[in-house]
Structure formats: structure tokens, C-alpha cells
Amino acid sequence: MMKKILSYLMTPFFYLGFGITLGVFHIKQVLANNLFGYFAHKKTVDLLNYFTLMNLRILGAKISFRGNPDLPTDRPLIVISNHQSMFDIPPIGWRFRKHHPKYISKIELGRNIPSISYNLRHGGSALIDRKNKGQALQEIYNLGHYIEKNNYAACIFPEGTRGRDGKVKKFKMSGIKALLKAAPSSVIVPFVIDGNYRLLENGTFPIPFGLHLKFTVLDPIDPSAYSLEELLGKVELSIKQELGQVEETVKE
């Protein structure tokens, strides 16, 4: 009962802090990018991700990062993650900040959202039109070339949409296939998001108080040792195992 009361009391303060963070860092991004260029903009986005995560502490959230594999810096990374909510980007951005993470996002998010839209448009990410397969694949292919050239990280949610109940949906191949074709020296890094779906289990209000949000980096995989089907199956299985969903999948 106390957590429910705190959820109602603290959710407005969270949204206030979240809104201020987006507004302040939108201005900071514009100034950094226009006055000092890419690297200043990137550092500003790193701080945006950090403070966005810290805003969740207003809701009593415990945030845990686990797994610390030795990730290469001389090869590009393809971070493959399950997708649970609109709050999935900040932990990825913060955890992989040394690898300059870029995202594959629907084109609608590139407009009218302070901070988020600006970063997607100016930070090197791919904005795809999900109704136009040709455009989407070309954008992903361009992103693959970009990370191959710079040894950056591309982050993809192969489920294609959020799993609102936390259960991992079947992975789709096309996006990862395009990335691997354009960035053949990439290393695959599975990333597990656990608990973010609960942030919006009541809709947008109230956000539950006292959640434990867990983010885990699994061991990297060299894709050259597998076919695309084997690779996706291996990554999907590893994420489901970390979430304890393998038995459910077998029963289905």
C-alpha cells in the first residue's frame, strides 16, 4: 500500500524532472553540436543518458548494471537488445558510451521530442520508415557503413516493437542482416533489459515506485562462426535465458 501511495505522490515529480532534463539538454546539445562539433555533442548526450537514468531514482528505482565483458574498441559492435519500454535507450547509451552508440529508430521519433529527436537526427542514428522497407534497409545499411568506418556501436531491437509484458518476441532478421553486410568486422553484443516494461504497466500514470531495473551485458559473439539463423537463435536464446523465459518458450 505504501509503494502505491508513493507511486501517486512521486510520479509528478519524476515527470517534472524528466521534462526539465530533456529541455535543458536539448539546448546543451544544440550549442555543443553547432559550436564545438561531434565530440562535444556526444559528451552532452552521455550526460543526458546519465541524468535520465538518475531521474528514475525519484521513483525509488534501483538500477543495476551487470556483466563486464572485455569488448573490443578496434572493431564495431552490434548491440542486440530486447525491447521493453521507451526508457530502454538511456541504459544502452550510458553503458556503451565509450563505443559511441547509434540507434535504429522509427522516423517519427526524429521529430518534436526535445533532446531525443535532436540526438537521433544529429548523432549518426538511422531513422527508418517502417512503411517503406527499401528506405529502412538503406538507412540501416548506411549505419552499418558508418560504424564499420569508425568502430562505433549500432544498437538494434530485432523484436521490432516493445514487449509490453516483458516477454521476448521472435527476432526479425532483416535489420541485423543489413548491418552485418555493411559492417562485416562487427562483434555481436547481446544486451538484456529486465524490468523496464513495469515502468508503464499502469499506462503513463502512476509509474510504480521502488522497481529494480536490471541491465546485463552478455559475452560478445563473433558472427563469422555462425549462419545468420544460428546467430539470431543464439542471441535470442541467451537473452531469454537471462530473463528466465526459456521454459515458457519450450512449453508454448
Digit-coded pLDDT (tens) for 209-251: 999 999 999 999 999 999 999 999 999 999 999 999 986 444 4
Q: Is 126 helix (H, G, I), strand (E, B) or coil?
A: strand
Structural domain boundaries, residue 116? 2-251
Q: Give the per-residue pLDDT at 250.
A: 43
Q: Which residue has the cell 540507434?
A: 103
Q: How far apart are CA 6 and CA 211, in angstroms?
A: 12
Nearest of 28, 15, 161 to residue 86 by alpha carbon: 161
For the record, the C-alpha cell of 117 comes out as 529527436
The tally of domains found in the chain comes to: 1
pLDDT at residue 165 greater than cutoff 50: yes
pLDDT at residue 175 greater than cutoff 90: yes
Q: CATH number for the domain including 147?
A: 3.40.1130
Q: What is the mean predicted confidence (pLDDT) over 131-141?
A: 95
User: pLDDT digit string (tens) for 81-133?
Assistant: 999 999 999 999 999 999 999 999 999 999 999 999 999 999 999 999 989 99
Contact between 65 and 95 (Cβ < 8 Å): yes
Q: Which residue has the cell 501517486?
A: 8
Neighbours of 51 (CB within 10 A): 18
In whole angstroms, how far apart are CA 222 and each of 184, 185, 231? 10, 9, 9
Whether the model pTM is above 0.85: yes
